[in-house]
């Protein structure tokens, strides 16, 4: 099969399109003929092996343990492994697999859901990781309810574009933070208000929010807490930058330790990939409450360019790969 492969960590040149053996699905796994894949910052982290901590946390110390990048996928079931009960060959699916920048990728059946007929493979391929991250941050970490005020820092990105829509679907009053060129995009997602972080400090004390979801990433905890009400909830989703060894992990370690000693709740979003919530996201889409915002679609051979576009901070919403 055709796949994007990297043998070493580095810049985009390490990614090569190559013919490799198609994977064989293990018990509980499905082999998917990938029609579209999604890329997000995790693909850049895998490509570069940065921050170094990730190499010790499973990426592979000297070289990538899994040489094919990509986690999000949408496609058609080609083969099922033993003990698989929910899918048959020919089913159209979306979800999270391994090495999805390839013609075929294995995925655990509990990380796959049926693809809605009305949606394209590209649309569904950009939902799983970012959509689940937004859902879990708002529903499970912050317990957002109707009428609450929610600040989404990083509203124009992959996770943020879903977070704005899901918070609106929950009946919240939503303010999105992004850079100047993307203000209209965030408004188009349904945000009630937008703040341009190039012009205004969202934690200047003018307004406090019941919930702050920080996806943008590099703001210190004390600064984010200034944007919260006294009993508000902060959810840390991710962040780029920081040192080459630890990135922004320091904040994520400190927040849960500090939380019991302050009036506000400081939470970190822990990944929980499951098919029930993926089907829930598909339902939100069927009800017209959430739609993937795809900025660009690249071909498989153009994965390096897709990662570059994302890493340069140019994408509005999501970037898809047509396989």
User: Which residue ranges make up the site for ligand NAP (CB under 6 A)?
Assistant: 40-42, 129-130, 133, 153-160, 177-179, 182, 197, 215-218, 237-240, 269, 271, 310, 313, 315
Q: How far is CA 307 from CA 16, 39, 57, 213, in A?
A: 13, 7, 22, 24
Task: Closer to ligand NAP by CB, 84 or 161: give it.
Answer: 161
Q: Which single residue brings its beta carbon nearest to ligand NAP?
A: 157
The strand pairing partners of 153, in sequence order, are 177, 214
Task: Closer to ligand NAP by CB, 77 or 248: give it.
Answer: 248
CA distance 266 to 243: 23
Tell how far CA 35 is from the center of its chain.
19
CA distance 212 to 229: 10
Minimum distance of ligand NAP from residue 168's CB (angstroms):
17
Minimum distance of ligand NAP from residue 157's CB (angstroms):
2
Burial of 112 from C-beta contacts in 10 A (0-12 / 13-18 / 19+): buried
Minimum distance of ligand NAP from residue 2's CB (angstroms):
25
Task: Closer to ligand NAP by CB, 90 or 205: give it.
Answer: 205
Minimum distance of ligand NAP from residue 75's CB (angstroms):
21
CA distance 48 to 64: 9
Task: Closer to ligand NAP by CB, 76 or 254: give it.
Answer: 254
Minimum distance of ligand NAP from residue 279's CB (angstroms):
19
Minimum distance of ligand NAP from residue 318's CB (angstroms):
7
CA distance 113 to 87: 9
Pick from 54, 123, 149: nearest CA to 282:
123
CA distance 176 to 126: 20
């Amino acid at each position: 099969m055709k796949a994007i492969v990297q043998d070493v960590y580095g810049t985009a040149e390490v990614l090569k399109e190559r013919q490799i053996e198609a994977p064989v699905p293990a018990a509980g796994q499905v082999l998917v003929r990938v029609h579209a894949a999604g890329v997000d910052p995790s693909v850049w982290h895998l490509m570069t092996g940065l921050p170094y901590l990730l190499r010790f946390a499973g990426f592979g110390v000297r070289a990538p343990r899994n040489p094919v990048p990509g986690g999000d996928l949408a496609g058609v079931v080609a083969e099922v492994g033993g003990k698989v009960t929910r899918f048959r060959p020919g089913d159209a699916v979306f979800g999270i697999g391994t090495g999805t920048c390839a013609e075929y990728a294995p995925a655990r059946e509990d990380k796959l859901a049926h693809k809605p007929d009305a949606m394209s493979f590209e649309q569904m391929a950009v939902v799983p990781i970012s959509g689940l991250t937004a859902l879990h941050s708002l529903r499970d970490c912050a317990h957002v309810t109707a009428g609450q005020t929610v600040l989404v820092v990083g509203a124009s990105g992959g996770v943020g574009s879903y977070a704005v829509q899901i918070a609106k679907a929950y009946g919240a009053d939503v303010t999105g933070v992004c850079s100047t060129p993307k203000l209209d995009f965030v408004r188009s997602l349904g945000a009630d208000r937008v703040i341009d972080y190039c012009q205004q400090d969202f934690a200047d004390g003018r307004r406090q929010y019941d919930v702050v979801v920080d996806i943008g990433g590099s703001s210190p905890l004390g600064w984010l807490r200034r944007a919260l009400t006294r009993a508000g909830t902060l959810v840390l989703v991710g962040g780029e930058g920081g040192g080459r060894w630890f990135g922004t992990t320091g904040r994520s370690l400190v927040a849960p330790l500090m939380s019991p000693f302050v009036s506000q709740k400081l939470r970190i979003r822990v990944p929980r990939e499951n098919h029930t919530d993926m089907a829930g996201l598909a339902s939100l889409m069927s009800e017209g409450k959430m739609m993937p915002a795809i900025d660009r679609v690249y071909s498989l051979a153009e994965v390096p360019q897709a990662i570059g576009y994302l890493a340069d901070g140019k994408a509005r919403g999501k970037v898809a790969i047509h396989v």
